[in-house]
Amino acid sequence: MNINILTIFPEIFDILKSGVVTKPIKEKTLNIELLDIRQNSVNKHNHVDSKPYGGGEGMVMMAEPIVKTLKQINKKNLGRVIFMSPQGKKLNQKKIISLSKLKNMTIICGRYEGIDQRIIDKYVDEEISIGDFILSGGEFAALALIDSLSRFIPGVIGNVRSVEQDSLSQGLLKGPVFTRPENFNAELVPEILLSGDHQKIEEWRENQALVRTFERRPELLQNIKLTKKQKKLLEDLASKRIL
């Protein structure tokens, strides 16, 4: 996968040199191209922003430096053009999985009050938000997107099944997890996990996932197809027959 990033702060992405994303970058399964918008500023003061027409607070990133930077990218490597924006569609795991299948992607990181609308209208394929809060720049949103995407690049997470079983990958939250020791300050690990009965353990995990989702994010349950058994468990939960 090739990701082009347009930013006025390329150094923020130095963080990709450490941590989970390092491996695919080293192994060349993920290529990150950083493009500094400021190198295409329109005047000798290196400005990439200007006051908003109509007045008001803040500054707006100008169209020309961004277009010039986009044109530096070879057309065949441009791929889907994404603008990180609090006005975009909210990112979720389903979206990450679909984006992870793309070969090329270009991410524009906004700053100040955002970018000139004409860029969005003419060059942007989609706007993506990472949540209903305002960041100071799209770089942090892009990093979150890239980190999450990279988990689907083969070899990043040792075990593909572990990514598939993550919370939300199946539409449900994952249940609780435990590790050594069995007895921690008199708190014991659920006995079933020590039973060695894989089928029972799997069933227990599925139930826990359902219970947790019901308790914390019931709205997620509307998007998945439940088995008869799961429906029954939910009915029991709803009527407080268990809990």
Task: Give the residues lining the site for ligand SAH (CB under 6 A).
Answer: 84-87, 109-111, 113-114, 129-131, 133-135, 137-138, 141
Q: What is the number of the residue whose Cβ is closest to ligand SAH?
A: 110
Q: Residue 123 Cβ, how far from ligand SAH at the closest point, in Å?
A: 14
Of 83 and 214, the one with the shorter C-beta distance to ligand SAH is 83
For residue 9, the one-letter residue type is: F
Name the nearest CA neighbour of 2 among 36, 28, 20: 28
Of 129 and 169, the one with the shorter C-beta distance to ligand SAH is 129
Catalytic residue among 86, 111, 116, 139: 86
Q: Output the CA torsion sign for 119, 65, 62, 149.
A: positive
Alpha carbons 124 and 121: distance in angstroms, whole number:
6
Question: Known catalytic residue: 113?
Answer: yes
Catalytic residue among 113, 127, 147, 206: 113
Omega before residue 10 within 30° of 0, cis: no
Q: Residue 70 Cβ, how far from ligand SAH at the closest point, in Å?
A: 15
Q: Are 96 and 150 in contact (CB under 8 A)?
A: no
DSSP sequence for 87-133: EEEEP-HHHHHHHTT-SEEEEEEP-TT-B-HHHHHHH-SEEEESSSS
Q: Residue 108 Cβ, how far from ligand SAH at the closest point, in Å?
A: 7
Q: Residue 127 Cβ, how far from ligand SAH at the closest point, in Å?
A: 8
Of 53 and 133, the one with the shorter C-beta distance to ligand SAH is 133
Of 24 and 114, the one with the shorter C-beta distance to ligand SAH is 114
Alpha carbons 242 and 215: distance in angstroms, whole number:
12
Of 59 and 102, the one with the shorter C-beta distance to ligand SAH is 59
Question: Known catalytic residue: 166?
Answer: yes
Catalytic residue among 64, 126, 147, 166: 166
- What would the two tokens of residue 69 be? 């930077």
**3-state class (DSSP) for residue 3:** strand
Q: Residue 84 Cβ, how far from ligand SAH at the closest point, in Å?
A: 4
Number of helical H runs and strand E runs in the chain: 9, 9
Catalytic residues: 86, 113, 151, 166
